[in-house]
Structure 1
Amino acid sequence: MSNFVRQIDRVETDWTKFFDYQQLVEEEITEYSSTEVTDRLLLGGIHANPAWDYWFQFLERQWQTNFSKEVVDFANQQAAPRILSLGCGHGGFELSIASQLNVPYELIAVDLNPYIFGEAKRRIEEKKLNIEFKAIDLNFVALEPDSFDVIFAHASLHHMLNLEHLMEQIYHGLKSNGRFVILDMIGEVQTLFWCENVEFARNLVEQFPAKIKKKLSANPIAPYQPPSLQVGMEGIRQEELEFEIDRFFDPIKCFKYNSFMRLIGTNPVLGNIFDLEDVNDREYLETLCRLDLDQVSNGSLRPTEMFAVYQKKLIPASVCATKARIKFLQTLVLQQSPKSEAFDLVTKANSDELIQNELTAIKSKIAKLSDLLAFHQEEIKALRRKNESLQEYISWMQGSKFWRLRQIWQLVKSIFTGKNPIDKPN
């Protein structure tokens, strides 16, 4: 199975070079190597809160389907499906899906982190499941063309930098009648929730019924914080995810949700505050669930998550754009030349040379943008170093009994002028 998915060293449009990518990778691996998981090898901790679990039960009732069901139902209609999971994490969904298949299958599951497959591998041996786990960086993945009946990704693609490359690979790797099933974040970069979503949720908590609100000493939802310097790859380009998918795929079904319910369901306090055995608590939680979807459907709040099933476009948007440009050139030629001559010119225009020229122009623009981003990235690194230096001196200053205001000013001035810092007093 390994030959169908591999890792390559270079991609045409590589956004990783504008970051300290190795540091981001290390932060990502460290975080998810220590993440709490449930017995089903799904994310635990706040993701196992009763209110969060109830929210997804509510969504399943509304949609009459769920993520695993879409993968399993389509795969079971194929003679011998080959399935690919992108960003499998600890492997919980893969084990669940494989155990529900009633046809011969191959399932390849890939993830950046090589240290989290252990328990899943033990279980596939025990249950005789045909799953192969591979450690691959999806920013540099290459898929064998027309190889997979189903490709799915559960809450993983919002970690990707090279979305353009990844979507192109998914498109080429999926069979013509295949399905791409995704559940992922589409909210604000890094923070997930926009300011208006956070403020709505905070105001909603203030209006909770007295019976529930009395359990709170303060509003547990923190005020909105704008995006800051990136740590790890969480939500790094999630606002662009739907746009990039739509360039290559058409939706068969698509559900958008979580205008605010994640802020309640995954909150350490609010996610556990409702007594689901109590009819009134359960009815109020149900009201909140309906309100979330209403806010999305009437356009009052933007959704931050999406669950969708896609099929391949007959022609990807990138090709459509080039063809549209050719059609425009045809119109210009017909206006300027006799018909017979015009079509000769159009024939020449409608060639690989024109497409190559278009690509060259685009690459030139990307190169200029790349240089600009690289310059600003160096500035950011320099500011980080200055910030670290300032933090170090502030920490030291706070421990000194004889620090004077004049020396604080000299220190700050030296950091931002680039001159040698003042000597620390004895």
Structure 2
Amino acid sequence: MIWLDRRLTPLARHLPEPLKAPLRRLVRAAAEAPTAAPAPASLLHAESLPEPAAAEIETVTTGNPAADEAGDAAVDDYAERVRREREIFAGQVDINILPPIFHYWSHTYLRPKLEEFGCANPDEFFANALQAAVQDAQARPARFVSLGAGNCDTEVRVAQILAARGVHDFVLECVDINPLMLERGVALARDSGLSEQIVPLLGDFNAWQAPRRYDAVMANQSLHHVLRLEHLFAAIEDCLQPQGRFVISDMIGRNGHQRWPEALAIVREFWAELPRHYRYHRQLAHQWDEFVDFDCSGEGFEGIRAQDILPLLIERFDFERFFAFANVIDPFIDRGFGGHFDADSARDRDLVDRIHARDEAGLLAGTLKPTHAMAVLRRRPYAGPTQVWRHLTPRHCLRVPD
């Protein structure tokens, strides 16, 4: 009865406290009631959805990780965020679609740096680390798990890269909280001939406990959705084999993907150069004549603790590889506004070039801190070298809150 939740939750926020409790109980009862069969794909506005495959998806975790924290209020808030998170991503068949101007920027500026790490894109970054983990594994098949795998599309592409290299002896478990996305993952793995390697599992990484030891754990753009980072990183450390790897690509900027003040000032400086119609936020359907430092964590878990990811990783793991990049450029090339830019326009490319130059100068000088990071992490003690780009070590990239 999601319709009931949608109508009562906004209303309840404005009611006196004595009236909120019965509404909470009503919404909670509706959420826990048996649900009807999923709507047909056509009703979800995603005709490419696969046939439901729930019988093929096991559950690895249950329960509400907020239940032991702060009583009913914490439970209600967590349940609402989970509902919104599932709702936001349920219809997103391809969550990786980015505007052409992003690809202009990434091919021009990001790819040459990635090539110094032996890869051309994030998929190859993951594949290289998992291939090394297969070689180091003490048993066969090598065991991997991806946390927050969504549609499992990245995982399938990584498995395809490994297969093309002749690496087949592995199993990659794919954990996500969204059953609709995992159903797509089952179909994608089946259609790609990788059902033996790709194993979607329904579970909440905020309450995840590893069922076994793993040769590698991967997290692709999922850690910035995690509320209980300390719990998750401890669970990952505990489940890694001694030679295991933790491989990530994620957002490490300010919570909610907001800008820190020093970056916000530069964003607004370049914002003033944009034509007015470029300032229309396509995702939020709103005109931003002045740049709004929007907090994406208000609903769901988007960027909920992004700024804590890097310091907590430094606290618990050692780094084999670390590549951090970008900050000010983000809102100009992302989904909200990037679609207004014409990658074939010399004027638009020039603006992106100038923003990138200012961005990178600040990152190298330490006056700006990166909002993205890719890393291969190891359990301690790790005696090997750490590869970084220039002098951007993990500690150099820390932004301590004011």
TM norm structure 2: 0.66
Give the aligned partner of residue 83 of structure 2.
26
Give the aligned partner of residue 112 of structure 1.
177
Instruction: Map 1:159-198 to 2 at 5 A.
Output: 159-198=225-264
Residue 136 (structure 1) aligned with residue 212 (structure 2): no
CA distance 1:13–1:150, change in 2 (3 Å)? farther
CA distance 1:150–1:170, change in 2 (3 Å)? same
Give the aligned partner of residue 379 of structure 2.
312
Give the aligned partner of residue 144 of structure 2.
83
Deviations 1:141-170 (A, max 9, x none): 01145x222211111111111111100111
The SS at the match of 1:143 is coil
Bigger fraction of residues in helix: 1
Residue 261 (structure 1) aligned with residue 314 (structure 2): no
Distance in 2, Cα, partners of 1:154 & 1:6: 19
Give the aligned partner of residue 391 of structure 1.
none
Residue 99 (structure 1) aligned with residue 160 (structure 2): yes
Distance in 2, Cα, partners of 1:214 & 1:193: 21
Identity of aligned residues (%): 24
> Residue 202 of structure 1 contacts residue 221 of structure 1 at CA under 8 Å; is this kept in 2?
no
Give the aligned partner of residue 73 of structure 1.
128
Deviation, structure 1 residue 207:
4.5
Give the aligned partner of residue 357 of structure 1.
none
Distance in 2, Cα, partners of 1:159 & 1:16: 20
Deviation, structure 1 residue 75:
2.4
Deviations 1:202-248 (A, max 9, x none): 2123347xxxx597589957434475983211122221111211222
Distance in 1, Cα, partners of 2:61 & 2:70: 15
TM norm structure 1: 0.63
Distance in 1, Cα, partners of 2:60 & 2:268: 45
> Residue 256 of structure 2 contacts residue 297 of structure 2 at CA under 8 Å; is this kept in 1?
no
Deviation, structure 1 residue 56:
2.8
> Residue 220 of structure 1 contacts residue 269 of structure 1 at CA under 8 Å; is this kept in 2?
no
Residue 243 (structure 1) aligned with residue 243 (structure 2): no
Residue 303 (structure 1) aligned with residue 370 (structure 2): yes
CA distance 1:217–1:141, change in 2 (3 Å)? closer
* Unaligned 5+ runs, structure 1: 316-426
The SS at the match of 2:82 is helix
> Residue 218 of structure 2 contacts residue 248 of structure 2 at CA under 8 Å; is this kept in 1?
yes
> Residue 153 of structure 2 contacts residue 188 of structure 2 at CA under 8 Å; is this kept in 1?
no
CA distance 1:227–1:158, change in 2 (3 Å)? same
CA distance 1:217–1:123, change in 2 (3 Å)? closer
Deviation, structure 1 residue 196:
3.2
> Residue 85 of structure 1 contacts residue 110 of structure 1 at CA under 8 Å; is this kept in 2?
yes
Deviation, structure 1 residue 262:
1.3
Give the aligned partner of residue 356 of structure 1.
none
Deviation, structure 1 residue 293:
2.3
**Aligned residues, how many?**
301
CA distance 1:235–1:95, change in 2 (3 Å)? same
Deviation, structure 1 residue 22:
1.0
Distance in 2, Cα, partners of 1:105 & 1:118: 21
> Residue 297 of structure 2 contacts residue 304 of structure 2 at CA under 8 Å; is this kept in 1?
no
Deviation, structure 1 residue 53:
2.4
Residue 223 (structure 1) aligned with residue 291 (structure 2): yes
Distance in 2, Cα, partners of 1:83 & 1:229: 29
Distance in 2, Cα, partners of 1:260 & 1:268: 14
CA distance 1:24–1:253, change in 2 (3 Å)? same
Distance in 2, Cα, partners of 1:214 & 1:137: 42
> Residue 71 of structure 1 contacts residue 181 of structure 1 at CA under 8 Å; is this kept in 2?
yes
Distance in 1, Cα, partners of 2:325 & 2:289: 19
* Unaligned 5+ runs, structure 2: 1-55, 136-140, 281-286, 383-402
Structure showing greater Rg = 1
The SS at the match of 2:60 is strand
Give the aligned partner of residue 61 of structure 1.
112
Deviation, structure 1 residue 286:
3.6
Give the aligned partner of residue 49 of structure 1.
99
